[in-house]
Amino acid sequence: MRAIESFGVLVAVGWFLLTMPSPLQALPNPGCVADATHERNLCRDLCRENFQAAKDLCRNINHGCADACRAGREGCLEGTPENPGPLATLRSCIGACNSVLDAEKARCRNEQCPEGSPDREACLDACIDAAQVVAFQCRDRCREAARPGIKLCRDSFRACIRACPPAQ
């Protein structure tokens, strides 16, 4: 009788293992996912271009001229490796602020409030909160410093758009 019960259990386990999806089947096909991502990006770019062309037509602005103005604005905002624009400078500045924050968090965990110290959680909360406030102020200064350059690029863009001929 025990042999029959054991055989029944073995059959049930075998059936479960055979009908269960393979771990390889559960993983997405990376090539398929990459193709779908590429297709989405192409679609997004085409939709953006169609939207800008329609917007330029609604504003009675030559689309080629407006595209040139947009490219000029992008170049102004990003700049070049030799002469970075306000957005590139802003990203770099914010990155430096975030690096300091990461270092301060590590200092809080390792030096200020080491493992096993009494009230470690409260110490970590206070120390990391203070570091986050300093990082926020740093990022805020970065944004304020970048604001005049961004405004200059936007003003140049608006002047360029106003100078564009009407749509055909």
Residue scoring higher pLDDT (117 or 5): 117
pTM value? 0.68
Q: Indicate if the pLDDT at residue 5 is higher than 80.
A: no
Q: What are 10-51's pLDDT values in tens digits?
A: 556 666 655 665 555 555 688 888 889 999 999 999 999 999
Determine what percent of the chain is predicted with pLDDT higher than 90. Answer: 70
Q: Indicate if the pLDDT at residue 141 is higher than 60.
A: yes
Average model confidence (pLDDT) across the chain? 88
Paired tokens of 9? 């259990």
Task: Supply the DSSP symbol for 111.
Answer: I
CA 128 to chain CA mean position, Å: 24
Q: Indicate if the pLDDT at residue 62 is higher than 80.
A: yes
d(CA 88, CA 91): 5
List the domain boundaries for the chain.
45-162
Residue scoring higher pLDDT (75 or 13): 75
CB atoms within 10 A of CB 24: 6
pLDDT recorded at residue 60: 94
Burial category of 84 from C-beta neighbours within 10 Å (exposed 0-12, middle 13-18, buried 19 and up): middle
Q: Indicate if the pLDDT at residue 71 is higher than 70.
A: yes
pLDDT recorded at residue 17: 58
